[in-house]
Amino acid sequence: MGQALGCIIVGQSNVAIKEHFGKFDDILQPGCHCLPWCLGYQIAGGLSLRVQQLDVKCETKTKDNVFVNVVASVQYRALADKASDAFYRLTNTKEQIQSYVFDVIRASVPKLELDAVFEQKNDIARAVEDELEKAMSAYGYEIVQTLIVDIEPDVHVKRAMNEINAAARLRLAANEKAEAEKILQIKKAEGEAESKYLSGLGIARQRQAIVDGLRDSVLAFSENVPGTTAKDIMDMVLVTQYFDTMKEIGASSKSSAVFIPHGPGAVRDVAEQIRDGLLHANASPNLLN
């Protein structure tokens, strides 16, 4: 805004307040205006129509007795058609807005607990904006938007909240770890049970195959060698297994030694001991009956 030879230039997004002998006369819009100062016309001042921002920091107490610093950001601007009210009716616009912000925040936050303050900050901002809109519209100002940009509790409270959060996360992690270990133990037990089952099934099949082989051998030997008895065939089988066992012991590279009778008579003694054991086992249930 400049003035030379009775002319005044008002910049864009600004207005000028024109007075005549100290009385409000007109609002000058952006552009060049003739101002005959010799006739008592003068410029009382200028007013910006741009959006301005005011950050207000307010300390208050929550419902659960925690002191917090709430920072509200108020965006406002003067209305061109009410520029005279904005210029003449308020001495300090920022202090006026700050007073209303303090009043609304200190009336809203004490009704809420600390967690609710964080959750309902948009409601607090809306309450501040509504109150400012009603109050400042009478003075020629428009409230564009109000934001709650920060809620800062006391340092000790923040530390306690972080510790609570950390403890909850550690507890959750411990539960998850215990559940994982439980699953591993269950799977390991299931694997061992399945392994033992399959091992037992294999041993049972092996023994069944041995019994079937012995039976087939006895039957085949009885058919091919007439006059032989089952006892003779079993003795021969035992002799064969005896020599196979001796062969495996002799071929083993381990240092352990096994002392067993090696004469042909020893085979008969072994066979007799096996038969006697089987006969004793078969006779015991009959005696008990």
9/46 Cα distance (integer angstroms): 11
The answer to whether residue 208 sits within a structural domain is yes
The answer to whether residue 136 sits within a structural domain is yes
Of the three residues 103, 134, 153, the one that is the final residue of a domain is 153
pLDDT number for residue 288: 47
pLDDT number for residue 209: 81
User: Mean pLDDT across the stretch 245-264?
Assistant: 63
The answer to whether residue 275 sits within a structural domain is no
Residue 7 neighbours by CB under 8 Å, 6+ apart:
32, 33, 34, 35
Mark whether 168 and 199 lie in a shared domain: yes
Mark whether 185 and 213 lie in a shared domain: yes
47/273 Cα distance (integer angstroms): 124
Q: The domain spanning residue 149 has which CATH number?
A: 3.30.479.30
Buried b (16+ CB within 10 A) or exposed e, 169-205: eeeeeeeeeeeeeeeeeeeeeeeeeeeeeeeeeeeee
pLDDT number for residue 1: 47
The answer to whether residue 227 sits within a structural domain is yes
pLDDT number for residue 71: 93
Mark whether 56 and 139 lie in a shared domain: yes
Q: Which of 46-55, 89-98, 217-226, 262-271 has the lowest mean pLDDT?
A: 262-271
Across the chain, what does the average pLDDT equal? 80
CA angle, residues 160, 162, 164, in degrees to nearest 5: 70
Mark whether 128 and 59 lie in a shared domain: yes
Question: Domain range spanning residue 64?
Answer: 52-153
- 128, 79 Cβ separation under 8 angstroms: no
The answer to whether residue 25 sits within a structural domain is yes
pLDDT at 246 over 90: no
Encode pLDDT of 42-86 as tens digits: 888 888 899 999 999 999 988 988 888 999 999 999 998 888 888
Residue 64's CB is within 10 A of a number of other CB atoms, namely 12
Mark whether 39 and 90 lie in a shared domain: no
List the structure tokens of 103. Answer: 């009043």
Q: How far is CA 184 from CA 43, 130, 147, 173, 287, in A?
A: 86, 59, 51, 16, 52
pLDDT number for residue 261: 60
pLDDT number for residue 53: 93
Mark whether 14 and 59 lie in a shared domain: no
SS3 77: strand
Mark whether 172 and 138 lie in a shared domain: no
The answer to whether residue 254 sits within a structural domain is no
pLDDT number for residue 216: 74
Mark whether 142 and 56 lie in a shared domain: yes
The answer to whether residue 175 sits within a structural domain is yes
The answer to whether residue 287 sits within a structural domain is no
Q: Which of 43-57, 87-101, 229-243, 259-273 has the lowest mean pLDDT?
A: 259-273
237/228 Cα distance (integer angstroms): 13
Residue 38's CB is within 10 A of a number of other CB atoms, namely 7
Mark whether 25 and 80 lie in a shared domain: no
Mark whether 42 and 99 lie in a shared domain: no
Backbone Cα Rg of the chain:
53
> What's the number of domains the chain is made of?
3
Mark whether 179 and 234 lie in a shared domain: yes
Mark whether 112 and 145 lie in a shared domain: yes
Higher-pLDDT residue of 204 and 272 is 204
| Strand partners of residue 152 | 69
pLDDT number for residue 171: 85
Encode pLDDT of 150-187 as tens digits: 888 877 777 777 788 778 888 888 888 888 888 989 98
Residue 29 neighbours by CB under 8 Å, 6+ apart:
10, 15, 80
